[in-house]
Amino acid sequence: MRNPAKTATPGSPPDERALAGIIDIFPDALFVVNHERTILDVNAAFEARFGTPRQESIGVNMYDLLVSVQCKPEVVTGLMEQGEEILRSGKPFCFDDEAGGIWSRYIINPIIAADGSVSRLFFMIQDITAQRRDEQQAQNEVELKRL
């Protein structure tokens, strides 16, 4: 028999413990932070991309960690500032940046609590270098055809 306290009802927030392992399914680097920008969790792709084990990432300030793994300080500052806006507005945000020939797409989404407030922020960092390279190649081919 099910424990009624554990039975989810439509519209109720999912059990966080049940969701904790889901982020490891994603191929992109993911991390979750609280209002103070303390990292609450990272996925395996984050560990692989930045070489920082989950145990060493959890509890660390996101700015300190991202700067330590070679993210540009101005990008991390932008992420922090945008995070503040998302906490106020609840609206997601996305931008692209290039560093050392590697293009990254930064996506920030709010995690909404049962009361409708933003409880945490969910960050995704995608490597879009191949996509950018393909776009540039296609643009070069179009330009060559015009000549």
pLDDT at 106: 92
Q: How confident is the model at residue 136 (pLDDT cuts 50, 70, 90)?
A: confident
- pLDDT of residue 13 exceeding 70, the answer is no
How confident is the model at residue 146, as a pLDDT?
Answer: 80
Q: What pLDDT is attached to residue 21?
A: 74
Q: In this predicted structure, what is the pLDDT of residue 19?
A: 58
Q: Mean of the pLDDT values across residues 20-41? A: 89
- Separation of alpha carbons 69 and 90, rounded Å: 28
Note the pLDDT of residue 17.
52
SS (H, E, C) the chain: CCCHHHCCCCCCCCCHHHHHHHHHHCCCEEEEECCCCEEEEECHHHHHHHCCCHHHHCCCEHHHHHHHCCCCHHHHHHHHHHHHHHHHHCCCEEEEEEECCEEEEEEEEEEECCCCCEEEEEEEEEECHHHHHHHHHHHHHHHHHHC
Instruction: Summarize pLDDT for 107-121 with one digit per residue, the tens.
Output: 999 999 999 999 999
Q: Render pLDDT for 59-105 as a digit per residue (tens, 0 to 9).
A: 999 989 888 887 788 888 888 889 889 999 999 999 999 988 989 99
Whether the full predicted model's pTM is greater than 0.85, yes or no, is: no
Encoding tokens for residue 70? 């070679």
Taking CA atoms, 62 is separated from 65, 66, 107, 117, in Å, by: 5, 6, 15, 21
pLDDT exceeds cutoff 80 at 10: no
Decide if pLDDT at 14 tops 60: no
Strands of 102-112's sheet, edge to edge?
39-42, 29-33, 118-127, 102-112, 93-99
Q: How far is it, in rounded angstroms, from Cα 130 to Cα 128?
A: 6
Site of tokens 């390279």 = 133
